[in-house]
Amino acid sequence: MDREKFWRDRPTLITGATGILGSALIKLLYELRADVVCIMRDWVPKSELILSGLIEKVKVVRGDLSDVDFLRRVIGEYEIDTVFHLAAQTQVPVANQDPLSTFESNIRGTWNLLDACRINGRVKNIVVASSDKAYGETQLMPYTEDMVLNPIYPYDVSKACAELISRSYSKVFGLKIIITRCGNFFGEGDLNWSRIVPGTIRSVIRGVPPVIRSDGTLIRDYIYVQDVAEAYILCAEKLEENPSLTGEAFNFSYEKPLSVIEIVELILKLMNSDLKPIIKNEAKHEIKAQYLSAEKARKILGWRPRFTLEEGLRRTIDWYKKFFEAS
């Protein structure tokens, strides 16, 4: 496939544009000369989308996924061809404190968007962002796509519900949809300091001990956001090539799970820091261990990451050093 020819001038809608993944994906699509349209709910001045100046090079519409008429208008007026649905409330502690807002954003937002695509009838490809959290807790590791989704906690349930809704719209109404499941992605532009990677890097730059809110033993997948953005683009391309992939879910992972304390220690090592983390052991309602098999994505999509975990962390650290110097 001629990738640049595929994307050139293609009207492409992205929800969740100011998030870490949204900014990375928009940058790649802009470089491929796609006609990018971003839905933006909140103005986030320090987001990478705005700081980089990329926002001046794409189309931006302000609105909320709770507004069905707004979504229908955007998809129709901008003649959208391909959709990347990234918008969500992504923080597990926030979901535990306020489940209703998470359900509204992650579940209702998904059915509103997909129904607007259904009514429009011209959208060709949709990539819906789910999460490894949708699997729930199990003794079987790594997660594979044939496992039954069995979530309990609010955020996890919201992602599983969004998946089921996506599958319904795919199988019943004929929308071409691929679902993606990733672990904890990290990279440039993540301003959510409660996340372990940016929070640890900021602490080291400021010379204070990083804080671990769990007991440090939770095991997770970590993947660099540039590799995730590439995976999403690949999903849209493969879906157009092979419509039989519609309704399928794919895991993306480096397949190198680490405990929270291990990822913190790796960051400290890469930053030549002798700081010792503070372990608060306050986290509640979180799954003990989660990591993914990416075998299906390798075999069916031909996906391979461009970066290693360490390379991604080094690039991320460099970005934050420049970010705080500029601040």
Cα separations in angstroms, 241 against 173, 216, 247, 262: 20, 43, 15, 40
224 noted as active-site residue? no
Report whether 259 contacts 266 (CB < 8 A). Answer: no
Q: At 39, give phi and psi (nearest 5°).
A: -95, 125
Report whether 27 contacts 1 (CB < 8 A). Answer: no
- CA atoms within 13 A of residue 116's CA, in its CB half-sphere: 26
Taking the C-alpha atoms of residue 327 and residue 319, their distance in angstroms, rounded to an integer, is: 12
Report whether 46 contacts 71 (CB < 8 A). Answer: no
**3-class DSSP assignment, residue 272:** coil
Report whether 268 contacts 200 (CB < 8 A). Answer: yes
Could you say which of 153, 155, 232, 320 is catalytic?
155
Cβ neighbours for 69, distance < 8 A, ≥ 6 positions apart: none
Taking the C-alpha atoms of residue 188 and residue 179, their distance in angstroms, rounded to an integer, is: 24
- Residue 35 parent element (H or E): strand 35-40
Taking the C-alpha atoms of residue 28 and residue 32, their distance in angstroms, rounded to an integer, is: 6
Task: Give the residue numbers annotated as catalytic, written as ranges.
Answer: 155
